[in-house]
Structure 1
């Protein structure tokens, strides 16, 4: 699979991605004997010979072990590897020993829930491509109680404020009070802050969001702020098949941010529901919400 050279160099452990860009512009990277100086140039390590300062990096790339991690992201963390505003990053929730991982899709700063981190571009492309129909399931708490006509508009696909139209989505009511409603939303695509923007388009802003499932992988047994390795079977199914051995089995980890961060993330929700949401008894009490991206 073709990948940007700076990423391949970083994946091989030669340099950070920023330093890799400097190596490229300095003319110290070649592909099949040709000097490359243009950033954004792509290469396929299974087909192309890639050298940095005259040394072939293909063996390091071939020996690299793929890592697949599932995080239950708390609110207040940015799904990014860097931020000029110095906001908390999801990378702070992992030990450095995991190496450089990238997020599979995104969750916005104020959204909780499941996020896969990996160094496997194949899995990333499969899970995020709408054509592969990998379900992303969210729980949403919204302001007010939308009418059935408004919910039907969301199901059919709705035009957002920038003129784009969303694909059809599955939207199911799971509870309501006089002032709020809860929904389960299933998407197969992933636009920026899509669920928030969808409900804004029908006049009901999202108050809380959480992603609870990616494909067949759920948040069961994984507290906010904690992470674990995906099993080989989970990886194989996320790639679209029942293949075995897609990832090396590792012990489950309970690694997490500090108790203070995890504690803040587990905030209790307010309000008494006249009709309890489906997941309310264990997680919301009377009004916990869930997520979008």
Structure 2
């Protein structure tokens, strides 16, 4: 069956669909020996020889078993499959038996918590690009922000880099003399958004942990540990239609 090349590349676990589109546009993909740069071009892996950067991907399409891993990312790991600075990677924390996996979205180097690793590019594209799937975080803030400042964050605020945040759900969890914890639900993923949000009201986020995506929760999973997503969790993330109340 003929399918779009970017979909085949994603299904082979080479890259997400968006990254695959860039590979095609950059001339890194060939079909039967001919470079294909036209997005939307199709091929049939049963009949055509498809190569990415000179390597045949047909065997990957024949043998691949879709894998979905939930990892409790510890602080000090990079959400990537490679790093020129040789820093620890989230992919180092899962067994090699799962094959080549890549993270769905990103958590910054200092942030902990739930991240999904997969070889299913279509799943990764769906979960990371949609603005309907909520992401749940817990954040520890140095100092006690006034209620007016927290209300402003909930309504949306302009960050120092010029990005205007959408309204979010934010509520206090607990506080002490020198710090406070908040729960935040975001539907977008601007780079280091939560840290920058608190910077904008002159408070620092000193600890940040993602605890949920959609209705999937990290639960009691220890830092550095992982588990497979259930079939129900995979289906729900792929078909998520509305926000959690």
CA–CA distance in structure 2, aligned partners of residues 178 and 56 of structure 1? 60
Deviations along 1:91-143, one digit per CA (max 9) or x if unpaired, are: 11011111111111111111110000011122212212243x11110000001
2:156 alignment counterpart: 157
1:213 alignment counterpart: 212
Contact 2:10–2:121 at 8 Å: present in 1 too? no
Compute the TM-score of the two structures, normalised by the length of structure 1: 0.68
Q: Describe the shift of the 1:45–1:213 C-alpha distance in structure 2 as closer, same or farther (beyond 3 A).
A: farther
1:3 alignment counterpart: 6
CA–CA distance in structure 2, aligned partners of residues 55 and 221 of structure 1? 41
Compute the TM-score of the two structures, normalised by the length of structure 2: 0.81
2:69 alignment counterpart: 69
How far off is 1:3 after superposition?
2.0
- Highest Rg: 1 or 2? 1
Task: Give the 4+ runs in structure 1 shifted more than 6 A.
Answer: 4-10, 53-56
CA–CA distance in structure 1, aligned partners of residues 227 and 188 of structure 2? 25
How far off is 1:61 after superposition?
1.4
Q: Describe the shift of the 1:56–1:144 C-alpha distance in structure 2 as closer, same or farther (beyond 3 A).
A: closer
CA–CA distance in structure 2, aligned partners of residues 107 and 55 of structure 1? 30
Structural RMSD (CA): 3.3
CA–CA distance in structure 2, aligned partners of residues 44 and 170 of structure 1? 42
Q: Which has the higher strand share?
A: 2
Aligned residues between the structures:
228
Deviations along 1:3-35, one digit per CA (max 9) or x if unpaired, are: 2887677649xxxx9xx99xx66xxx533x571
Q: What is the 5 A alignment of 1:1-293?
A: 2-3=5-6, 11=14, 30-31=30-31, 33=32, 35-36=34-35, 44=42, 49-52=48-51, 57-58=57-58, 60-131=60-131, 133-240=132-239
Contact 2:112–2:209 at 8 Å: present in 1 too? yes
Unmatched 5+ residue regions in structure 2? none
Contact 2:79–2:89 at 8 Å: present in 1 too? yes
Unmatched 5+ residue regions in structure 1? 243-293
Q: Describe the shift of the 1:9–1:68 C-alpha distance in structure 2 as closer, same or farther (beyond 3 A).
A: closer
